[in-house]
Amino acid sequence: MTAIQVRGLRKSYRGHAAVDGVDLDIRQGEVFALLGPNGAGKTTTVEILEGHRKRDAGDVDVLGADPATAGRAWRARLGIVLQTANDAAELTVRESVRHYAAYYPNPAGPDDVIEQVGLTAKADARVKSLSGGQRRRLDVALGVVGRPELVFLDEPTTGFDPEARRQFWELIRNLATSGTTILLTTHYLDEAEALADRVAVIAGGRIVAEGTPATLGGRSTAKATVSWLGPGGRETRTTDTPAALIRELGDHELPELTVTRPSLEDTYLSLIGAPR
Amino acid sequence: MTTAALPSTAGLGLSRGVAELKQFFRQKDHVIFTFTFPAFILVLLGSIFDDAYPGGVTVGQVFAASMVGAGIVATSFLNLGIGVALDREDGTLKRLRGTPMPAAAYFLGKVVLVAVASLAEVVLLLAVGMVVFDVTLPTEAARWFTFAWVFVLSIISCSLLGIAISSFAKSAQSAAAVTNLPYVGLQFMSGIYIPISELPDWMLTVGAVFPVKWAAQGFRSVFLPDSMMVQEAAGSWELGKTALVLGGWCAIGLVLCLLTFRWTNRRAG
């Protein structure tokens, strides 16, 4: 089953093509990451999928409906986790989650959702007293309280410290385990690698590569770099057949031997054409 | 898949209203600014001028009646002009737009907020008026009927104009300035702060175009004896014209809202 299908999506602002022929297929239950630099067309694409922006051309199907014309019943099946919001500062966490639960026909129990995002101890605290990380957990709670089939997560861990990020990833993994389809946009490649089943890189309004984090952009079959400490200093060779090369180097030990392939970051930077 | 029905718009409007009220009354600076400010001004003004009109009505009593009008303009126009701009800036509207909540429920919630805050404002101002300036409440049903329709038409027209003007502010901070300018200016031109007899004609003419003057005059007709009618610019309470002007602003406000309302601050980009 397909959760999102996009064909030939285009959107221009004042003659500038922000999205220039994007195709996407996201299966139900998949965690899909959309990577790309600022201005690549990520946000425009996602906003069109959410039904918040009109498209110029192309076919878009999200949960079996066209977002441009779909109504409240369709929207009740989506969850949108905002990137930046400071709303409802004066309400408590529990009041906020309860209030948003009331918008949906078949919501989860507010207290269960609060527990799921790890805010039980803060349930009666005013939203304005939460830390940045707790605030984002509340954003997730408000996004999933309606038991959505599809969740949009827009750069969810920007500004997090490493520990908070790990905890947040765990939360997203739990959500994914329950069968929810997740479309994640992010700047962080380790985040995509940690969470996503599949990744697409968008640059200049087009999808320039798509695959699993391990195979993106031919990463798994790219030339390997073999490096070791020789008698005269560090030696480095690139090869398609690293095992054969190491056999060839003989039967003595190779100190500090490493075999590396391009990291996701290397692959990503070459895909978006950034200087390294 | 779920087959459960979507919650009703009216029910959601009510639950928005409860959330709005909680947030309004928990935000102390906002409450002081829009809510107790008119009462504060009333005490100040009534204490500065202490003369009486022929027939024994004091200037303080006239201020109290006029200030009821100005007060509910604060709890409707000022409150929503700033409040909706704030909702746009802090992400409230953006988040709501991503839920199955119908837009009408958001506006219903604002109506509940304005109605409750405005009633509380009237009670506060009348209490101050009764204690400090010996204002007496009318006993005739006809006057309370006038009170009811002037109140309803005033808060509807001013709420709609407040929502409309919020779209002209680039940020929540500028919204305070954008809404206060017409609010304070029109209070002078509508004879709230300064008795009508002291105002130049052109000011009266400008003031007579906008709802503040008619709201204040409507409340004067409720809380002052008919002997005070002669102090009005037209020499009468002009209730028919009041209904017409306030009703007209309801229609204009609705059209402006529909034309200008935005969910976010960001233009297409």
State pLDDT tens for residues A164-204. 788 888 888 988 998 899 999 988 888 888 999 999 999 88
Helix (H, G, I), strand (E, B) or coil at A214: coil
Q: Which residues of chain B have a Cβ shorter than 8 Å from any chain A Cβ? A: 2, 4-7, 11-12, 15, 19, 22-23, 26-27, 87, 90-92, 94-95, 97-102, 263, 268-269
Is residue A276 a part of any domain in this protein?
A: no
Is residue B268 a part of any domain in this protein?
A: no
Cα–chain center distance at A146: 21
Q: Are residues A162 and A255 in the same domain?
A: no
Helix (H, G, I), strand (E, B) or coil at A107: coil
Assign B267 a pLDDT band (cuts: 50, 70, 90): very low
Q: Are residues A121 and A62 in the same domain?
A: yes
- ipTM comes to 0.82
Is residue B112 a part of any domain in this protein?
A: yes
Mean pLDDT in residue range B59-80: 90
Residue B241 structure tokens: 């014209």
Q: Per the structure, how many domains does chain A have? A: 2
pLDDT tens per residue, range B130-181: 998 888 899 999 999 999 999 999 999 999 999 999 988 888 888 888 888 8
Q: Are residues A28 and A94 in the same domain?
A: yes
Is residue B127 a part of any domain in this protein?
A: yes
How many Cβ atoms from other residues are within 10 Å of residue B120's Cβ? 16
Nearest to B100 by CA among B15, B10, B6: B6
Residue in A75, A82, A102 closest to B95 by CB: A82
Closest-CA distance, B32 to chain A, in angstroms, reads 16
| Prediction pTM value | 0.84
Is residue B269 a part of any domain in this protein?
A: no
Domain of A242 in residue numbering reads as 223-260
Assign B13 a pLDDT band (cuts: 50, 70, 90): very high
Is residue A270 a part of any domain in this protein?
A: no
Q: Do B7 and A75 touch (CB under 8 A)?
A: no
Q: Are residues A81 and A198 in the same domain?
A: yes
User: Percent of chain B having pLDDT more than 70?
Assistant: 97
Q: Are residues A6 and A102 in the same domain?
A: yes
Is residue B204 a part of any domain in this protein?
A: yes
Mean pLDDT taken over chain A = 88
pLDDT tens per residue, range A76-93: 999 999 876 778 888 999
Cβ neighbourhood burial of A20 (10 Å; 0-12, 13-18, 19+): middle
Residues of B in Cβ contact (< 8 Å) with A106: 2, 4
Report the range of poorest mean pLDDT among A172-186, B50-64, B72-86: B50-64
Report the range of poorest mean pLDDT among A16-30, A225-239, B10-24, B98-112: A225-239
Q: Do B23 and A95 touch (CB under 8 A)?
A: no
Closest-CA distance, A232 to chain B, in angstroms, reads 57
Residues of A in Cβ contact (< 8 Å) with B94: 82, 85
Closest-CA distance, B111 to chain A, in angstroms, reads 18
Domain of B114 in residue numbering reads as 9-260
Confidence (pLDDT) at A195:
92
Q: Are residues A252 and A138 in the same domain?
A: no
How many CA atoms lie less than 13 Å away from B175 in the CB half-sphere?
Answer: 23
Assign A127 a pLDDT band (cuts: 50, 70, 90): very high
Q: Are residues A206 and A119 in the same domain?
A: yes
Q: Are residues A162 and A248 in the same domain?
A: no
Quote the CA–CA distance of A97 and A207 in Å, as a whole number: 36
Closest-CA distance, B164 to chain A, in angstroms, reads 21
Q: Residue A66 maps to which CATH number?
A: 3.40.50.300
Q: Are residues A146 and A93 in the same domain?
A: yes
Q: Please provide residue A61's backbone torsions phi and psi, each rounded to the nearest 5 degrees.
A: -130, 115
DSSP class per residue in A153-202: EESTTTT--HHHHHHHHHHHHHHHHTT-EEEEEES-HHHHHHH-SEEEEE
Q: Please provide residue B55's backbone torsions phi and psi, each rounded to the nearest 5 degrees.
A: 100, -5
Q: Are residues A228 and A112 in the same domain?
A: no
| Whether residue B232 has pLDDT greater than 60 | yes
Quote the CA–CA distance of A91 and B217 in Å, as a whole number: 38
Q: Please provide residue A140's backbone torsions phi and psi, each rounded to the nearest 5 degrees.
A: -65, -45
Confidence (pLDDT) at A275:
54
Nearest to A155 by CA among A119, A187, A107, A123: A187
Is residue A75 a part of any domain in this protein?
A: yes
Is residue A49 a part of any domain in this protein?
A: yes
Helix (H, G, I), strand (E, B) or coil at A218: helix
Mean pLDDT in residue range A236-240: 85
Q: Are residues A176 and A253 in the same domain?
A: no
A257: left (phi over 0), alpha (psi -120 to 50) or beta: beta
Is residue B135 a part of any domain in this protein?
A: yes
Is residue A255 a part of any domain in this protein?
A: yes
Residue A7 structure tokens: 């064909």
Q: Are residues A243 and A170 in the same domain?
A: no
Is residue A124 a part of any domain in this protein?
A: yes
Is residue A67 a part of any domain in this protein?
A: yes
Is residue B266 a part of any domain in this protein?
A: no
Is residue B128 a part of any domain in this protein?
A: yes
Q: Per the structure, how many domains does chain B have? A: 1
| Whether residue A30 has pLDDT greater than 90 | yes
Residues of B in Cβ contact (< 8 Å) with A82: 91, 94-95, 98
State the DSSP code for B197: G
